[in-house]
Structure 1
Amino acid sequence: MVEFEDPYFITNLSDSNLGANETWNSTINLGEGERLVNVTSEMDIAYAIPLYGYCMPFLLVITIVANTLIVVVLSKRHMRTPTNAVLMAMALSDMFTLLFPAPWLFYMYTFGNHYKPLSPVGACYAWRAMNDIIPGLFHTASIWLTLALAVQRYIYVCHAPMARTWCTMPNVLKGVVFISICATLHQSPRFFELVYEPTTIRWGDQNNVVVCKVKLADWIEHGLTPDVYYTIYFLFRVIFVHALPCISLVALNLLLFKALRKAQIKRNKLFKENRKGDCKKLRDSNCTTLMLIVVVTVFLFTEIPLAVVTVLHIISSSIKEILDYHVANILILFTNFFIILSYPINFAIYCGMSRQFRETFKELFIRGAVQATRGRNGAGSSKYSLVNGPRTSTNETVL
């Protein structure tokens, strides 16, 4: 999940949003800069429970099934192309973005344990890592992979000779590994920025309830200082994870759409000249480009709002306070939800716009339907053959 960590993940006891019957009555004095983990104050429970507690389990099942099917289909030998390698990496990143926080979302919001003290210390570390840091890592990788996909398609369409050198399978796999390493390095300091310690409080009618006391690590508090550390982190994130990728993707989408229109005019000319072979190749290329434009467009609709809120957070934290953080956290909550909601959509796009993906899916999971289709078309003239490759007759991509 993408959240604002500095002021919102941890809150003072006196700032708690707990109800009257759920107040944490402290029996200790906290030191300067120390806080108690209070999950209820992390986000507006009125929205978090229905979205994360009730809707999320269904989305989790749909996402896991859809993205697993994408990986299985794209991993087949005849589907292994540079484009499909990036699409498969994106599917895995999206699935892991939701899979890691899922156990905690169930525990906190579906089963209604968000108001309870979180302990022991190991659980506090696990909550933070699995609910924020690791999902942030995979989501960052997904953003950069989407950008890599658009760049790759731009090279294919607008600079075809370069594709033979740059868009090979070994180079694409190296790019995927490089993106994964960069995303890991970007998030790795966050594993060490907070220190949790056990302490006891009075909670309701219970005395000596163990909870997690949390503070900034010494290397931030007395080294870089919190202002420097969080400014560097969020500034890097807003520039290289949100702003530049989104701006680049908008520009690349426009360039690809412009190239698509030119290619369509050329295809019409080839069709009039009865050059069916060249016309078919160009049609397949156009359909692949169109499908990837749709994938990138869906991505942008969910990512741009998050980028805007993050930019406002940077301005409000470092220059002038302009953001109502209660409203901002609600916006982040809904933005996170819509990002997750978009994950299964790619499967629908591939099935709807890629004939090869659809036929491979049928070959793997609906053999009866494929055999019936082959029977109607004759044993030696099937629309799709794993040996002879795709024989397209509609305006669909073969990836």
Structure 2
Amino acid sequence: MEEALLGLPPFVNGTFSSECDYKIAKILYSVAAPIVIIITLCFNILYITLINYDKDDRSASTVQATGISISNTLHGVSQLPIFFYFFLRDNMASPVSKQWCNAYRVVGFIFPNIFHTAALWQLVIYGIQRFICFRWPISALVWYKVDRFLKFTITVYVCASITHGYKFFDFVHDSGEPCTFSYRNGIDPTYYTPFYNWLCAIAVQIVPCVIMSVCVVLLIYGIRFSYLRRKRVYVNSPTAIPRNRKFTMQECQSLGILILTLAVEWPLTLLIILHITNLETASEDCAYTSLVIAHFMLLVSYLLFFPLFFILNFKLRRTFARLKSDLNVFFVHHSQMDETSDDVES
């Protein structure tokens, strides 16, 4: 049963078609991937804290950014138990319990698929929303509401869960070492497997990537249009040029996020299509190495989201400086209170 088509951690039973696949997966997933995921977790916690730090600045954009960060984080964190338990062992193919075999499938495949799908479609909505705000900022205020985007986020998660949720129930664990699975009685893999593979390829990869590619072109136009509009408004201001540059760089963060995502998702999409249309490659040497590397690069791309936001968004840097100052004041205040209490007791 091959279910590594989305570039997620391949199963132990048969997905490693060669020693080459086994070695590259063990190298990337044993140490490198957990480090990337842990750093991403720290970055996203900081990012969510910063964008929600000032209650007056919370908006629908804050809801979107928070949702995307949570999806990216959960995509990696959900796989950490599998990385630690399976890929850090000396012999990953050695026998494990039935519970860990089931966990490998659920935590290592189904949950990451759900979060990956949710993240992609949230980015699609993010790209569309950003273009509308750049091109028609006044009209966007009519529908650009926090409650509405909360509903969008919930809807995306519900649809992602429906797309992959039935995978919780379509398999049974067989006796075998280390882990083998088979479809339940009544499920014909001749039709079921191609249906799921093409559903994921089209709904999870091709359609979002095409829409985001169109959004990139539209965002370039929208950002330029917004830049020229501000240039006309600030024509008599002595600080017009640096101010306009700051706002333009902040607007470019959405463009950078989409380009970074597409740089990983388009190669992953092409690999998925190749594996679906050429199933005989499953027996070739290093057949899944490219998917393993693509999945690892997906984790790395999530790591780069925060640095990209931090470099381009001057408001985020300003909020970080304010947070740092508030923390310093907080710790200094408490240290002085402790010293005062010690003096009183003495």
8 Å CA contact 1:145, 1:176 repeated in 2: yes
8 Å CA contact 1:52, 1:105 repeated in 2: yes
Residues 163-210 of structure 1 show CA distances to partners (whole Å, capped at 9, x for unaligned) of: 1232211111000000000001111111112101446x7xxxxxxxxx
Match of residue 272, structure 1, among 235, 238, 258: 235
Which residue does 2:126 correspond to in 1?
A: 149
- Helix, strand or coil for the counterpart of 1:214? strand
- Helix, strand or coil for the counterpart of 1:332? helix
8 Å CA contact 1:263, 1:282 repeated in 2: no
- CA distance in 2: counterparts of 1:150 and 1:324, whole angstroms: 39
Which residue does 1:257 correspond to in 2?
A: 220
Q: Decide whether aligned partners of structure 1 residues 265 and 339 sit closer, same or farther in structure 2, where only a CA change above 3 A counts.
A: same
**1:322-361 equivalence runs, <5 A:** 326-361=285-320
**TM-fit CA distance, 1:228:** 1.6
**1:6-21 equivalence runs, <5 A:** none
Match of residue 322, structure 2, among 350, 363, 371: 363
**TM-fit CA distance, 1:69:** 1.0
8 Å CA contact 1:38, 1:117 repeated in 2: no
**TM-fit CA distance, 1:212:** 4.8
Q: Decide whether aligned partners of structure 1 residues 251 and 40 sit closer, same or farther in structure 2, where only a CA change above 3 A counts.
A: closer
8 Å CA contact 1:64, 1:95 repeated in 2: yes
Amino acid at match of 2:4: E
Amino acid at match of 1:70: Y
Residue 95 (str. 1) matches residue 95 (str. 2) = no
- CA distance in 1: counterparts of 2:91 and 2:56, whole angstroms: 48
- Helix, strand or coil for the counterpart of 1:343? helix
Which residue does 1:316 correspond to in 2?
A: 278
Which residue does 1:165 correspond to in 2?
A: 142
- CA distance in 1: counterparts of 2:10 and 2:237, whole angstroms: 64
- CA distance in 1: counterparts of 2:84 and 2:127, whole angstroms: 35
What is the TM-score when the length of structure 2 is the normalising length?
0.83
Amino acid at match of 1:218: N
Match of residue 218, structure 1, among 185, 210, 213: 185
- CA distance in 2: counterparts of 1:99 and 1:288, whole angstroms: 29
- CA distance in 2: counterparts of 1:263 and 1:39, whole angstroms: 49
Which residue does 2:64 correspond to in 1?
A: 86
Which residue does 2:344 correspond to in 1?
A: none
8 Å CA contact 2:5, 2:197 repeated in 1: no
**1:132-147 equivalence runs, <5 A:** 132-147=109-124
8 Å CA contact 2:110, 2:167 repeated in 1: yes
Which residue does 1:69 correspond to in 2?
A: 46
Which residue does 2:255 correspond to in 1?
A: 293
Which has the larger helix fraction?
2
**TM-fit CA distance, 1:283:** 5.8
8 Å CA contact 2:21, 2:288 repeated in 1: yes
- CA distance in 2: counterparts of 1:40 and 1:112, whole angstroms: 16
**1:367-386 equivalence runs, <5 A:** 367=326
Q: Decide whether aligned partners of structure 1 residues 169 and 267 sit closer, same or farther in structure 2, where only a CA change above 3 A counts.
A: same
- CA distance in 1: counterparts of 2:120 and 2:269, whole angstroms: 12
Match of residue 198, structure 2, among 216, 235, 239: 235
What is the TM-score when the length of structure 1 is the normalising length?
0.73
- CA distance in 1: counterparts of 2:282 and 2:79, whole angstroms: 27
Gaps of 5+ in 1: 12-36, 202-210, 372-399
Residues 363-398 of structure 1 show CA distances to partners (whole Å, capped at 9, x for unaligned) of: 334547899xxxxxxxxxxxxxxxxxxxxxxxxxxx
8 Å CA contact 1:107, 1:113 repeated in 2: no
**TM-fit CA distance, 1:265:** 2.9
- Helix, strand or coil for the counterpart of 1:196? strand
Amino acid at match of 1:293: L
8 Å CA contact 1:40, 1:114 repeated in 2: no
**TM-fit CA distance, 1:132:** 0.8
Using the aligned pairs only, state the percent identity: 22
With a CA cutoff of 8 Å and minimum separation of 6, indicate the structure with the bigger relative contact order.
2
Residues 267-294 of structure 1 show CA distances to partners (whole Å, capped at 9, x for unaligned) of: 33333344979x8986665333211101
8 Å CA contact 1:312, 1:322 repeated in 2: no
8 Å CA contact 2:40, 2:302 repeated in 1: yes
- CA distance in 2: counterparts of 1:47 and 1:166, whole angstroms: 47
Amino acid at match of 2:60: P
Which has the larger strand fraction?
1
Which residue does 2:342 correspond to in 1?
A: none
- Helix, strand or coil for the counterpart of 2:278? helix
**TM-fit CA distance, 1:337:** 0.6
Q: Decide whether aligned partners of structure 1 residues 326 and 258 sit closer, same or farther in structure 2, where only a CA change above 3 A counts.
A: farther
- Helix, strand or coil for the counterpart of 2:155? helix
Match of residue 167, structure 2, among 160, 173, 190: 190
Which residue does 2:335 correspond to in 1?
A: none
**TM-fit CA distance, 1:246:** 0.8
- CA distance in 2: counterparts of 1:190 and 1:155, whole angstroms: 36
- Helix, strand or coil for the counterpart of 1:219? coil
Which residue does 1:21 correspond to in 2?
A: none
Q: Decide whether aligned partners of structure 1 residues 271 and 229 sit closer, same or farther in structure 2, where only a CA change above 3 A counts.
A: same
8 Å CA contact 2:17, 2:282 repeated in 1: no
**TM-fit CA distance, 1:252:** 0.9
Amino acid at match of 2:270: V
**TM-fit CA distance, 1:81:** 1.5
Which residue does 1:305 correspond to in 2?
A: 267
